[in-house]
Structure 1
Amino acid sequence: MKMRWIFWVLALMLVIPTGALAEQREPSMEAGAQAFAGHMFKHGELDEQKWLEIVKKYTPNQAAEWQKILNERKELRKQLQSEEVQKALQAKHAEMKKKREADFDQLIDRLANKEITKQQFKKEWKKLHKHKRWMTKAERQKLYKLHHQTHEAMKKNDQQALSSLLPQWLEHMKKENERLAKWIQEATQK
């Protein structure tokens, strides 16, 4: 019976301080900044409207170009959702999986025939399992930094910072559209 009480007391000790902190926390950002702080394309068109509102407010001269990029992105998403592209992507995935399995079988045979050492096997096996990422580590860090800077500028309502950051976002979105278009093209060509 004492053990139950101890567990209950410990649980309450953990729950009460976090609840109190949640009550005391003040909203430090306006609602628009909070929405922007998340991933802008999480909800598709809704977030595209948020992008356009922000662009019209801070860099109105680029609004037409942003609209073009967002429309292109919307069209690429529709293509990705189409049955033809989905089947092509599945077929390409299956083909890549078979190739990787064949390469792995060949690697095992080379080890069994003692053509390579265990260390060479491990090294080549890691190469087979290494995933090709669509964004390099440096690009991910740059995007993270851009996201963080934009978030901070939105919290401070820093128009100068936002007017310099939004063109960087536009360039990022252009590259993303190119990557998606290339990916769809590679998957669908036979």
Structure 2
Amino acid sequence: MEKKKWIPAVLAAILTIPTAAFAADTEVKTEKPSIVTEVSSLIGHAFGGHMFKHGAMDEQKWLEIVKQYTPDQVDEWQKAINERKALWKQLNTEQVKKGIKAKREKMKKEREAAFDKLIDQLVNKEITKEQFKQQLKELKTANKWLPQASMKETRELRKQLHKAIKEKDRDAIATLLPKWLKHIQAENQRLAQLIKDATQK
């Protein structure tokens, strides 16, 4: 029996963890993906303008908050914002778009090959069911932009900052803003690296 025919039966029999995310990552898309979708598929974390836009809190609002609570960091914030704008401008060039698309396709093929290898190892009893499930988990999170722990920390930091701003908690805002600035600077570095990787021959 061909592998593609018995894969569903094998998975149905042994998996207790959801695999929909993995399947969705490997299926053929009929719509042309946006640059945000392409980037998100590579880094596992949506850029989507979340840096400076949370509802009505746009870039200017952020700067006003920074001036009020951490005025000594205004220049650093402006530099980070300007850098982000420049990076997004590069990201939307045809050269980078093509590079990202090629990288995404390469990663997709690598994941599919790794998945096929796992299935073979399981069927040939080279690994146990538990090892299969663990390695499948690792495969689903491989090549992600941020480790899961870091993503959780980012979400928690963003939640705390917005709560502090909403409640006008001066001490909390003054403590959290520098941490958020470091996060933005780190994201800029990762985005710059992604652009560099996408344009390398």
Question: TM-score, normalization: structure 1?
Answer: 0.66
Q: Equivalent of 1:184, from 177, 184, 195?
A: 195
Q: Equivalent of 1:152, from 137, 141, 163?
A: 163
Is the Cα–Cα contact under 8 Å of residues 90 and 96 in structure 2 kept in the other structure?
yes
Q: Does 1:116 align with 2:126?
A: yes
- Distance in 2 (alpha carbons) for counterparts of 1:167 and 1:58: 10
Is the Cα–Cα contact under 8 Å of residues 76 and 180 in structure 1 kept in the other structure?
yes
Give the alignment's Cα RMSD to 1 decimal: 2.6
Q: Does 1:59 align with 2:70?
A: yes
Per-residue Cα deviation, 1:49-101 (whole angstroms, up to 9, x for no partner): 11111111222221111111100011111111111111001111111222233
Distance change in 2, residues 1:181/1:121 (3 Å):
same
Distance change in 2, residues 1:164/1:124 (3 Å):
closer
Map 1:1-190 to 2 at 5 A: 39-42=50-53, 47-110=58-121, 114=124, 116=126, 119=129, 124-190=135-201
Is the Cα–Cα contact under 8 Å of residues 69 and 170 in structure 2 kept in the other structure?
yes
Is the Cα–Cα contact under 8 Å of residues 79 and 85 in structure 1 kept in the other structure?
yes
Distance change in 2, residues 1:89/1:121 (3 Å):
same
Is the Cα–Cα contact under 8 Å of residues 69 and 174 in structure 1 kept in the other structure?
yes
Is the Cα–Cα contact under 8 Å of residues 40 and 47 in structure 1 kept in the other structure?
no
Distance change in 2, residues 1:152/1:189 (3 Å):
same
Distance change in 2, residues 1:168/1:105 (3 Å):
closer
Distance change in 2, residues 1:62/1:128 (3 Å):
closer
- Distance in 1 (alpha carbons) for counterparts of 2:121 and 2:109: 18
Structure exhibiting the larger radius of gyration computed from Cα positions: 1
Residue 130 of structure 1: how far off its partner (Å): 3.8
Per-residue Cα deviation, 1:23-44 (whole angstroms, up to 9, x for no partner): xxxxxxxxxxxxxxxx45348x
- Distance in 1 (alpha carbons) for counterparts of 2:134 and 2:160: 39
Count how many residue pairs are aligned between Structure 1 and Structure 2.
Answer: 149
- Distance in 1 (alpha carbons) for counterparts of 2:73 and 2:65: 11
- Distance in 2 (alpha carbons) for counterparts of 1:139 and 1:123: 20
Structure 2 unaligned segments of length 5 or more: list them.
1-49
User: As a proportion of its length, which structure holds more helix?
Assistant: 1
Residue 133 of structure 1: how far off its partner (Å): 2.9
Aligned-pair identity in percent equals: 52
